Amino acid sequence: MKIGPLSISPRTIRNLRKEFRSSGLARIGVVLIALVVLAAVFAPLIAPHNPRTQNLDRAQLPPLGFTDTEQQTQTKIVDGSVQTVTRNVTVNATATYPLGTNALGQDMLSRVIYGARTSLLVGLLGTVLAALLGVTVGLTAGYYRGRIDDALMRTADVSLAFPSLVLAIALIGLFSRFQADVAYRVSDPLVTSGLAGWFRDMVGLPTPMPETFVIPTVVVLVVGFVNWVWFARIARGEALSIREEEYVKAARALGGSDVRIVFRHVLPNAITPILVLATIQVAAIILLESSLSFLGFSGTTLSWGFDIAQGRGYLSSSWWIATMPGIAIVLSVIGINLVGDWLRDALDPGIEGEGGM
Amino acid sequence: MAEKDTSRRRFLQAAGSATAAVALAGCSGTGGESSPTEEPTDTSGDSMQTTEPQQTIERPEPSTRDGYLQRANRHCHDQAPWVFLHRQYSVYGVSDDINWQPRRDERVDAYAIEPATDSGDSAVMTQSQMDSGLDPQDHRETPTDNIVLQAYEGLLERDRQGAIIEVLATDYRRLDETTVQFTVRDNVSFHSGDSLTPEDVAYSINRIVKESVGIASPQSDQLVGVAGAEVASSDDRTVNVNLTGLNPIVFQSFATYCDIMNKSWVTSHDNAYINQNMEGTGPFKLANYEQGVAVEFTRNDNYWQEAAALSGFTINAASESSTRVNRLLAGESDIIVNVPPQEVSRVNNNDGTSVSAVPSTRVIFNAMRYDVEPFVSPLFRQAVNYAVDLESIVQNVLQTFGDPTGQPTLEGFFGYNPDLDPYPRDLDRAEQLVEESGYAGAEIELITPIGRYLKDVEIAQAVAAQVDELPNVTARARQVEFSTLVSQVTTGKIEDKPHWYLLGWGNATFDAVQTIQPLLASDGALTSYKNDELDRLLDEAQSLPSESN
Amino acid sequence: MGYGRFLLKRGVQGVGVVWGVVTVVFLLRFITPGSPIDTVAPLDASQETRRQIARELGLNQPLYVQYLDYIWELLHGNMGYSYISSIPASVQVFQKLPATLELAVAASVVAIVLSIPLGVVSATRRHQPADYAATSFSLLGISTPNFWLGIMLVLMFAVELNVFPTSGRAYGFMQSLAAITGPRPFFTVVTAWVASLFLPAITLGTYFTALITRLVRSGMLDELSSGYVRATRAKGLPETLVRYKHVLRNTLVPVVTVLGLQLGTLIGGAVITEAVFAWPGLGSEIIRAINARDWPILQGSLIVIGTGFVLLNIVVDALYAYLDPRVVAE
């Protein structure tokens, strides 16, 4: 199998197959990831409702299987002071809103489905960015050693000394200065092409879906920037050991340019641990993104963390608003971690649990 | 002439700021309106577009200050520089261990609390955030107000209804157009035992308005009409305050801010000390201060009035409303601020606690910048107002903890125009107005702070969704940190402001000018609007003495 | 290179990192939007008032002057004064530090007490129910966002069952100590303190419990299959001695290193845990400072955290080098 200049040996593929067959957990992981990816990609086709549509008359409906006794309070003014009147209303779940609705009457299931898009996009793009940055720094440091190595690795130390969450919050502020919008709005090709409309008409869900989708670009940049250190450390370690290999020495003696040697010889050999780390990092970045949204530092309202923050004010009356998106986060991160374990066991890259929440 | 004009402008600007503190600075979620909810009767807009006729037919609106302010409000209603939303309610959870009635200006005065049971002898209040230091003149937001007012007092104050009463002044009057005189109360002592002197009063005023005397006080804008103060006669205990021009609401300003401090105490300590200790004349003394966590007071037994009923008062904070409610229900707190509607039944159903609410002095609105498309068109701005289902928002999002508004000024304020009803919802008319404005197909985005006002994000999302229902407008909401929004709206340049944003404004002076001037006059510090007619009405109003005080 | 020189070198590097932290934090302040004046001044303050405030805060000086000033003052133990409260930043930061340390230590205790037995059991009873339980738990633990876990714990144990307080910190460690002699009943104080600490410590500790369990498990599995263990077994040493004396000790060495690197994660976790539980520590202070653009407080907090991180990692390195002299030679 060839990916650009990188190749994966048949032996590696055999190992992967073997571990996959022997491990039920790996299969669960793949299924979970597949579900999240499908939800994210085909959200406009499968979400039962428009995730942004409000229906204040249907607010705080419980999920299927639950009945909620809601206490509705109204005010009236008597002699200039405000009196409150509370009455009990029993609210039944309906199959139209299987996971219930939030305080604005938005469908939780549709929001959870669309939330997968935000999480996955940020997770993948953030990881790619972190990997590009970290691998470049790490290979440079490890290949050249000496002063460059010292300087780059001290920078990495400084970067490690900041809690990533705190650094991310501070950086989001920074980036928002250069770009007034902390998010970038793209049109949703599935909707604008009419595919979603056609499909929904066919299956009897004629609700129009949002035509645009928000990519929280600043969050992507920031989480990528915050997590580069882990990649740098791995790449440097690999570069340090590979540069002493005979064939690399030989290539250098033959007058191969540094860039060429790094790309032809060092990078391909370092790719396995980087891939495994990248898998774990997707999970870490999804958790980081949800933390940022939870604290209100995000560019979009279609995010699991944001919904949890919103639901927190309703814990005593509508527990499901904060619970459902949380379950979605846990399931997707479990899926990624299981796949990460599978890759690690099969490829044995010699890294262990790096990259934090 | 030109010069006179400038100084009046400058004064107006000053006046506008007085309210501000309480206004935006206050914390998330309070507020509302006192009046019985006016049914947004179906006037379906017949008079909306044509400004003048209604005005002349219905009421003459005399050439008084009140009359001009009412006309200014009518202008705002008709030209719709805002999406008019609601008046917030202040909603408190109160333990049965104490007797206490909330005030309209969002301040909680422990002196007004009486124990109802033995365990109410010492009370705890949980607000949404702690103080920004204990210097009574170096802050301007409700949470800090509530802490410093227990220990410090001003010359004047307001009672629960908002009327001005004397505190450390026994008398106040105008000597001439630019001078007012206060007589300082005798036999008052600070917590340290020092006696209150007219010199302390003059120093305290100067510390706010003159940077050379003390600090760059955020309250100085509020007393901008004030040039300085001097002791007129130590024997008569009088202090003269010099004004830069006629100031119709100078006493309102003094009733809201300007706590009196002990001159010798202030001059012998540094700012860090003054911000961690208190030396006032109030009914409570500082017992313990844990910055950002809690402030504990004990009763001042040498108070110049009858000593407080409570022996001790503690203020702490929790930014999450559910946390505050839990503290109240667990008996850890006796008063909690900002109970959101969905928690009201929990408080009321619990034995020994109940909810106490009062319409506040804060109005919530969406400003639409007059200088950008499509909001440049008054027709479009009206259309947005018609598209919003204010009744539904008040009913469903706020669960009636708020009253719909149709003008910048709240009912019960000086200058309120009783003839103006909130805009009714009328989608057809809104759609038609959008067509007439020439901005059909417009895409607009509402910027809202997150967690600053009661249900701010939910309200903004509801407004955007309702406007989005218009077939010829696309609308959405985006939330930002409050500090981000603040940095955009406070630059003094209208170009820096978002095109459409949600804001709340508290006005503790109970006077229309303190809302309209800063937010809508062309030289207002926070303005999103410019109109010569409105400026003229405000100028007229401010050149006349106020009939109320 | 000798052990002493190794330590010296790490110390010098540490000072460099702390200086880097200070510089980065200082620069952050100047590229971050939202001037501190916006939070200090009232919304409708005139531009003149704003200029006055800028003068008072020293913000009208050139950048390098402010930077040198800051470093100079910092060397004298002065972190500046809070823009909001005018209280010295050092006072405000060090007042909040004990609450966060308490939380971090409690979480670490939870993590260590739970994870090492779990990891050992898991590794020594591979493919048995105990192993499956421990691995499932640790998988869940590293996959759950801790703010959500905190909210769910509050929902269950505070809102529904009402056994723990929902939030806040009661008394604290020092006050609990003081209660031995103090006027308040000792038992009440300690119970309230531990109860208030319980849910936050679990919330923050779960991720680390899970992480260490995984590390211990895989580390032990590696060690158990390695040559020297087979050799010691062959020598006839009792199996328990082999496991606990040699294997576990060798396993814990890399665990300590990873934990040193994860300290930032611990503090990041503390920030969000404190936000969930209204815990009055450095994390709450940082969030407040960021929202209010109270830079002296934010700078002070980050410098304290960064310095702590560097110090702890030097300790970890020293420990590691002591246990494994090859590191020094490198």
* Tens-digit pLDDT profile for residues A105-121: 899 999 999 999 999 99
Residue C140 has a pLDDT of 92
What are chain A's partners, defined as 3 or more CB pairs within 8 angstroms?
A: B, C
Identity (one letter) of the amino acid at B49? Q
- Whether A357 maps to a domain, the answer reads no
Structure tokens at C14: 């540490």
Place of tokens 């300790």: C315
What pLDDT shows up at residue A127?
Answer: 95
Number of H helices, E strands in chain A: 15, 6
A91 shares its domain with A150: no
Please indicate if any CB of chain C lies within 8 Å of the CB of A194. no
Inspect the interface and report whether the beta carbons of C34 and B24 lie closer than 8 Å: no
Distances (CA, A) of A130 to A77, A126, A232, C14: 58, 6, 9, 25
Q: What is the pLDDT of residue B364?
A: 95
B387-399: average pLDDT: 90
Rounded mean pLDDT of chain B?
82
Window from B75-79, C102-106, C133-137, C323-327 with minimum mean pLDDT: C323-327
What average pLDDT score do residues B256-263 get? 88
Q: Of A310-314, A332-336, B283-287, which gets the smallest average pLDDT?
A: A310-314
Please say if the pLDDT value at position B502 is more than 90.
yes
List, for residues B299-311, the tens digit of each pLDDT value. 999 999 999 999 9
Task: Determine, yes or no, domain membership for A21.
Answer: yes
Reported ipTM: 0.85
Picking from C146, C219, C309, the nearest residue to A161 by CB comes out as C309
pLDDT at residue A111, rounded to an integer = 94
Query: If pLDDT is split at 50, 70 and 90, which confidence band does C277 have?
Result: confident
Minimal Cα–Cα distance from C91 to chain B, Å? 9
Which residue of chain B comes nearest to A314, CA vs CA? B342
B339 Cα distance to chain centroid: 19
Contact C275 A295 (CB under 8 A): yes
For the segment C2-16, the average pLDDT, to the nearest whole number, is 83
For residue B326, the one-letter residue type is N
pLDDT at B209 over 50: yes
Give pLDDT tens digits for A45-96.
999 988 888 777 788 888 888 887 777 777 777 666 777 777 777 788 888 8
- Does residue A287 form part of some domain? yes
Amino acid symbol at B133: G
Quick one: pLDDT band at residue A182, thresholds 50, 70, 90?
low
* Structural tokens at position B157: 């104050």
Co-location of A198 and A75 in the same domain: no
Q: What is the pLDDT of residue B547?
A: 59
Residue B530 corresponds to which amino acid? K
Based on the domain organization, do A123 and A190 belong to the same domain? yes
Task: Give the per-residue pLDDT at B56.
Answer: 40
Does A39 have pLDDT greater than 90?
A: yes
Say what angle helices C263-277 and C295-323 make with each other, to 10 degrees.
140
Percent of chain C with pLDDT over 90: 10
Check residue B142 and give its pLDDT: 80
A160 touches chain C (CB under 8 A): yes
Name the residue facing C45 among B218, B332, B484 (closest C-beta): B218
A202 and A117 inside one domain: yes
The overall average pLDDT reported for chain A is 83
Nearest CB partner across the interface for B322, out of A53, A54, A312: A312
With tokens 């309702």, the residue in question is: B466
Distance CA B249, CA B257 (A): 13
pLDDT value for A205: 80
Q: Could you give all domains of chain B from N- to C-terminal order, each with its CATH number? A: 6-48+57-88+359-542 (3.10.105.10), 109-336 (3.40.190.10)
* Minimal CA separation from C206 to chain A, in Å: 12
Domains of chain C: 93-329 (1.10.3720.10)
Q: A5 pLDDT band (50/70/90 cuts)?
A: very low
Q: Which amino acid, residue B171? A: D
Contact A108, A314 (CB under 8 A): no
pLDDT at B30 over 70: no
Q: Are strands B82-95 and B402-404 parallel, antiparallel or unpaired?
A: antiparallel
Q: Do A238 and A163 belong together in one domain?
A: yes
Residue of A nearest to C310 (CA): A161
How many structural domains is chain A composed of? Answer: 2
Interface A–B counts its CB contacts (< 8 A) at 96
Contacts of B54 (CB under 8 A, 6+ apart): B47, B74, B419
The pLDDT assigned to B61 comes to: 58
Average pLDDT over residues B29-39: 34
**Residue B17 reports pLDDT greater than 60:** no
**Whether residues A157 and A296 fall in one domain:** yes
* Same domain, residue pair A217 and A273: yes
For C168, the closest of B218, B221, B318 (CB atoms) is: B318
- Residue A179: which CATH number? 1.10.3720.10
Cα distance between residue B64 and residue B74, in whole Å: 15
Model confidence at C120, pLDDT cuts 50, 70, 90, reads: confident
* Full domain range(s) for residue A85: 66-96
pLDDT tops 70 at residue A6: no
Q: Look at residue A123 and tell me whether its pLDDT is greater than 90.
A: yes
B305: left (phi > 0), else alpha (psi -120 to 50), else beta? beta
In the structure, what pLDDT confidence band is assigned to residue A1 with cuts at 50, 70 and 90?
very low
Residue B14: band (very low, low, confident or very high) from pLDDT cuts 50, 70, 90: very low
The region of weakest confidence among A301-305, B153-157, B218-222, C312-316 is B218-222
Q: Is residue A352 part of a domain?
A: no
Token pair, residue B417, equals 């125009």
Count of other CB atoms within 10 angstroms of residue A54: 24
Q: For residue A338, count other CB atoms closer than 10 A to its CB.
A: 25
Evaluate whether B501 touches B372 at the Cβ level (below 8 Å): no
Question: What is the 3-state secondary structure of B461-502?
Answer: HHHHHHHHCCCCEEEEEEEECHHHHHHHHCCCCHHHCCCEEE
Average pLDDT over residues C257-280: 82
Q: Two tokens at B179?
A: 């001078």
A353 lies in some domain: no
Instruction: Work out whether strand B179-184 and strand B226-233 pair parallel, antiparallel, or are unpaired.
Output: unpaired
Lowest-pLDDT range of A81-90, C91-100, C121-130, C318-327: C318-327
pLDDT at A7 over 80: no
Report the residue count for chain C: 330
- pLDDT band per the 50, 70, 90 thresholds, residue A302: confident
What does the pLDDT look like over B314-369, one tens digit per residue? Answer: 999 887 788 888 888 888 899 999 898 888 888 888 889 999 988 888 999 999 99
Per residue in A209-241, is it b (16+ CB within 10 Å) or e — as a string? bbeebbbbbbbbbbbbbbbbbbbbbbbbbbbbe
Q: Based on the fold, state whether residues A80 and A156 are members of the same structural domain.
A: no
- Name the band, by pLDDT with cuts 50, 70 and 90, for residue B63: confident
B431/B4 Cα distance (integer angstroms): 46
Question: What's the whole-number mean pLDDT along residues A151-175?
Answer: 80
Residue at A356 is within a domain: no
Mean pLDDT score, B266-275: 89
- Looking at the fold, whether A49 and A197 belong to one and the same domain comes out as yes
In the prediction, which pLDDT does B35 show? 34
- Among the residue ranges B205-214, B391-400, C157-166, C242-251, the one predicted with the least confidence is C242-251
Quote the pLDDT of residue C42: 62
The reply to whether residue A104 touches residue B321, judged by beta carbons under 8 angstroms, is no
Residues A207 and A257 grouped into a single domain:
yes
Q: With bands split at pLDDT 50, 70 and 90, how would you rate the model's confidence at B416?
A: very high
Helix axes A217-226, A108-144, angle to 10 degrees: 40
pLDDT of res. A301: 79
pLDDT of C313: 80
The domain boundary residue, chosen from A75, A96, A117: A96
Q: Is the pLDDT of residue B20 over 60?
A: no
Are A76 and A169 in the same domain?
no
Report yes or no: A354 at the C interface, CB cutoff 8 Å: yes
Query: Percentage of chain B with pLDDT > 90?
Result: 38
C43–B292: do the CB atoms touch at under 8 Å?
no
Question: For residue B284, what pLDDT is reported?
Answer: 95
Rounded distance, CA B199 to CA B187, Å? 14
Phi then psi for residue B183, to 5 deg, are -105, 125
Query: pLDDT tens digits, residue range C60-74?
Result: 777 788 888 888 888
pLDDT of residue A171: 77
pLDDT tier at B147 (50, 70, 90 boundaries)? very high
Give the integer Cα–Cα distance in Å for B60 and B51.
14
Q: Are residues A223 and A247 in the same domain?
A: yes
Average pLDDT over residues B398-406: 90
User: Last residue of some domain: A78, A96, A114?
Assistant: A96
What pTM was estimated for this model as a whole?
0.81
Q: What is the mean pLDDT of residues B185-196?
A: 92
- Residue A152 pLDDT exceeds 50: yes
DSSP B316-353: EE-SSHHHHHHHHHTTS-SEES---HHHHHHHHHSTTE
pLDDT of B8: 39
pLDDT score of A294 more than 70? yes
Q: What is the pLDDT of residues C206-227, one digit of tens each?
A: 999 998 898 888 888 887 777 6
Q: Which residue in chain B is spatially nearest to A57 when comparing CA positions? A: B396
Residue B92 forms beta bridges with which residues?
Answer: B356
pLDDT, residue B270, reads: 86
Our measurement of the distance from residue B198's CA atom to the centroid of its chain's CA atoms, rounded to an integer in Å, reads 29
Q: What confidence score (pLDDT) does residue B341 get?
A: 85
In a domain, A29, yes or no: yes
Q: Which residues of A touch B462 (CB under 8 A)?
A: 54, 56, 104
Q: C173 pLDDT exceeds 80?
A: no
The pLDDT, as a whole number, for residue A8 is 60
CB < 8 Å to A36, chain C: none
pLDDT at A80: 65
pLDDT at A354: 41
User: What is the 3-state secondary structure of B145-171?
Assistant: HHHHCCCCCECEEECCCCCEEECCEEE
| Cβ atoms < 10 Å from Cβ of B51 | 15
In a domain, A175, yes or no: yes
